[in-house]
Amino acid sequence: MLRRSFATLALCALAGCQNYNFNPVGKCVIQPGSRRVEVGGAGTADVLFVVDDSGSMASEQASLARNFGSFVNALAQTQQQRAATGLQPFEFHIAITTSSIFEGWLPSSGSPTCSGQPLQCAISASRYTGQPASLSCSDQGAACDDLVENYFPNFTLFGCSAGIGTAGAAYPQGSFVAAPGNPSVLHFTKDVWAGTTTATASLATLSTQFQQNINVGTCGSGMEQHFEAGLLAVQKALAGQQPNTKADEWPHAGAKMVVVWIGDEDDCSNPNDPTKALAFDPHNGASSNPGADVCIADQLAATHKMFPLDKYVSYFGGLGRDFGAAFIYSADPTSCQTDPTNPNIRVCKPGTCTCQCPASCASCGPTAAGACNIPSDCSGKIPALAVPGGSRYAELSSLFRGQGKSTFEGSVCDADWGTTLKGIAQLVTPKDQITLPTQPAASEVALLRIESADGKTSRYCTGPATTQAELTTDDWYFVDCSTGAPVLSGTTTCIKINHATQHCEPNAGESYVAQYLGVVPSPTDANPLGGCDPTKNASDCQTFLGGALTDWQCTPIGTTGRGTCTCAGTQ
């Protein structure tokens, strides 16, 4: 329910302040327009696991599969809580791909260049196969590298675990993967939570299939391109080009998307072009050593061949749907802590980590069986780097958070993947606290509604609560982002859903949509909080009016010292 005329006030803002008097807002709020924001809460989630399938990931894949029950149990508990309050179960759909796109090498001999019509790079002997290769290229006369896009021709010879891979077959390059006989997308639909004998059996089958699918093997590319593989997977899905997958199987209209990146080496996403790609040197073993290879060197260089992380922030943030991400990478397990300002966010400190031995194992090592089979040198784990965030994993996580996205970080060395999988489950679960990208100017001009997948309004949510009594009757209210305490006077960027009313709950395919007038001026590097500054003069607001103000004031909001610009008079 809207407590104040949102449409009228938005029109006032667009027209400029002209002696309009609105109570209890007071005076016309200076704002160039309204803000419509999809803020998540979808009853359906599409989950993509992007798993490192290089040579050092066997124990991590085994731990992920072994502890998947923690993921299912966490979601089952949430489903039971929803059922107890009369809500429908939410559903989620899981797909898996690997980090393998290509592996770049300098030619073992000769100096091929891009030539011919069409342009091609003629590699006399491609690495691993020794056979000639012809690669499409883009720059006439440019030096060519050898890009390997296929698995080893013989897994036994190279001492790796096949997993879902087939010797000599093409790398997934973002395609969904699955064990033979299993579906490429696992559908945890509403019916599997019914608690019946049939439902329990279906849930057990899905869990087993996930454990089989996640065993992607260790024969993949040693030039892990985690982020690009995730992007390619989503692009293929949206274009209906995922093999063995129907167009509407993944993703679903209106569903939240969660991408989980898992790898013990940092991301090395770079151009799939033999004239522009990074390349290991066959005559210099150090160029491909984990933690000190050409990918690390590129991160530390003044110019880069790797794709900028902004590419992934823009792509995933521009999909027009709620988005969350998990980053499980090389970090000290004891450093991972919940963000004190947001209980839905967990961050870690990147750096070399030591593979932990599960509590069930008396000792661990490369010759031990099952969960105890851990490389003694923990090969592949990377140190923190002298780059923003310490690693591309940590930096991309931070960039997503800066865009208002929920992220969860974990250590790839943690023996207890149960904690990590429970955290990922929280990303999938509809949240009772939602973070807005900017702060509403006043509670009287904020509206929250639920929208169906076809863009139509399903229902309006009553609120925000502004009294103690309304905390129990209204559907939502503002809260302190750090403590979660109700804010009954003023606004914040965090709102809480009151599940007790059972009225403001999205079902499968639905999303929350917030509409409000934001604090102005908008946040900038110089003014990160946004809003006007009571210590300054009317110039903070004049930018938006283009003229002098006859009656200017800055009304503080909360305890930040910032406020909302209001005025009376004419432009």
Write out 281-334 in H/E/C secondary structure: CCCCHHHHCCCCCHHHHHHHCCCCCCCCCHHHHHHHHCCCCCEEEEEEECECHH
Q: Rounded to whole angstroms, how far apart are CA atoms 256 and 78? A: 17
Q: Locate the domains of the chain by residue range.
A: 6-40+433-522, 44-428
Give the pLDDT mean for 513-539.
Answer: 58
- Comparing C-alpha atoms, which of 470, 324, 467, 486 is closest to residue 409? 324
The answer on pLDDT for 379 being more than 80 is no
Q: What per-residue confidence (pLDDT) applies to 8?
A: 31
Q: 68-84 and 197-213 are packed helices; what angle lies between their axes, rounded to 10 degrees? A: 150
| Residue 300 phi, psi (nearest 5) | -85, -10
Task: Report which of residues 432 and 303 the model is more confident about.
Answer: 303
Token output for 254: 């209106």
- Radius of gyration in angstroms for the set of CA atoms belonging to the chain, rounded to a whole number: 26
Of the candidates 352, 411, 420, the one whose C-alpha atom is nearest the C-alpha of residue 380 is 352
CB atoms under 10 Å from CB of 541, counted, come to: 22
Check residue 70 and give its pLDDT: 82
Amino acid at 285: G
Long-range contact list for 550-555, CB < 8 A, 24+ apart?
551/27, 553/27, 555/26
The length of the chain, given as a count of residues: 571
Going 404 to 405 to 411 to 416, the CA torsion angle's sign is: positive
Given this model, what pLDDT does residue 11 score?
Answer: 29
SS3 472: helix
User: Which residue(s) pair with 113 in the sheet?
Assistant: 143
What is the longest distance spanned by two Cα atoms in the chain? Answer: 82
Lowest mean pLDDT among 5-19, 131-145, 160-174, 505-519: 5-19
User: Percent of the chain, pLDDT > 90?
Assistant: 43
Q: What is the pLDDT of residue 571?
A: 34
Higher pLDDT, 222 or 546: 222
Q: Please provide the DSSP assignment of 104-126 as one string.
A: EE--SSS--B-BTTTTEEEESS-
Q: Position of tokens 């609560």?
A: 465
Predicted confidence at residue 39, as pLDDT, reads: 52
Q: Is the pLDDT of residue 170 over 60?
A: yes
- Whether this prediction's pTM lies above 0.85 is answered by no
Express each pLDDT in 18-63 by its tens digit: 222 222 232 334 443 344 555 555 578 899 999 999 887 877 787 7
% of the chain surpassing 70 pLDDT: 79
pLDDT attached to residue 451 = 81
Pairing of strands 323-329, 406-411: parallel
Q: Per-residue pLDDT tens for 110-158?
A: 899 999 999 999 999 999 999 999 999 999 999 999 999 999 999 998 8
Please check the confidence at residue 503 and state whether its pLDDT lies above 80: yes
User: Around Cβ 370, how many Cβ atoms within 10 Å?
Assistant: 11
The better pLDDT of the pair 292, 263 is held by: 263
d(CA 353, CA 43): 36
CB 122 within 8 A of CB 109: no
**6 pLDDT more than 90:** no
User: Which residue has tokens 């946004």?
Assistant: 530
* Confidence at residue 528, expressed as pLDDT on a 0 to 100 scale: 52
Band the pLDDT of 355: cuts 50, 70, 90.
confident
Q: Which range has the worst mean pLDDT, 193-207, 366-380, 446-460?
A: 366-380
Are the CB atoms for 78 and 239 separated by under 8 Å?
Answer: no
- Distance CA(302)–CA(53), nearest Å, equals 29
Q: How far apart, in Å, are the Cα atoms of 431 and each of 146, 197, 295, 426, 440?
A: 47, 29, 37, 8, 20
Helix (H, G, I), strand (E, B) or coil at 395: helix
Q: Could you tell me the pLDDT band of residue 536, with boundaries at 50, 70 and 90?
A: low
State the average pLDDT for the chain.
80
| Residue 9 pLDDT | 32
For residue 527, the model assigns a pLDDT of 54
532 CB neighbour count, 10 Å cutoff: 27
Cβ neighbours of 29 (radius 10 Å) = 26
Of the listed ranges 118-122, 178-182, 282-286, 390-394, the least confidently predicted one is: 282-286
Neighbours of 3 (CB within 10 A): 16
Residue with tokens 């900017």: 438
pLDDT at 495: 87
How far apart, in Å, are the Cα atoms of 70 and each of 65, 77, 192, 425, 426? Answer: 10, 11, 16, 9, 12
Q: Is the pLDDT of residue 17 over 80?
A: no
Bond into 172 cis (ω within 30): no
**Per-residue pLDDT at 239 exceeds 90:** yes
Mean pLDDT of 444-454: 77
Helices (H), 159-293: 197-213, 226-238
Residue 397 tokens read as 């996580």
What is the pLDDT at residue 432? 67
pLDDT tier at 559 (50, 70, 90 boundaries)?
very low
Written as one letter, the residue type at 76 is A
User: What tokens appear for 530 in the block?
Assistant: 């946004």
Residue in 339, 331, 391, 392 with CA at minimum distance from that of residue 356: 331
481 Cα distance to chain centroid: 20
**Per-residue pLDDT tens for 392-440?**
999 999 999 888 788 999 998 887 777 788 888 888 877 667 777 677 8
DSSP state of 509: T
Higher per-residue confidence, 534 vs 302: 302
pLDDT at 38: 52
User: Which of the residue ranges 417-431, 466-480, 516-530 would you say has the lowest mean pLDDT?
Assistant: 516-530
Q: What is the pLDDT of residue 253?
A: 83
Query: Is the pLDDT reported for residue 519 higher than 50?
Result: yes
Identify the pLDDT of residue 462.
94
Which H or E element spans position 497?
strand 494-497
Q: Which residues contact 201 (CB under 8 A, 6 or more apart)?
A: none
* pLDDT at position 497 over 90: no
**Cα distance between residue 404 and residue 412, in whole Å:** 25
C-alpha 571/C-alpha 563 separation (Å) is: 21
* DSSP at 421: H
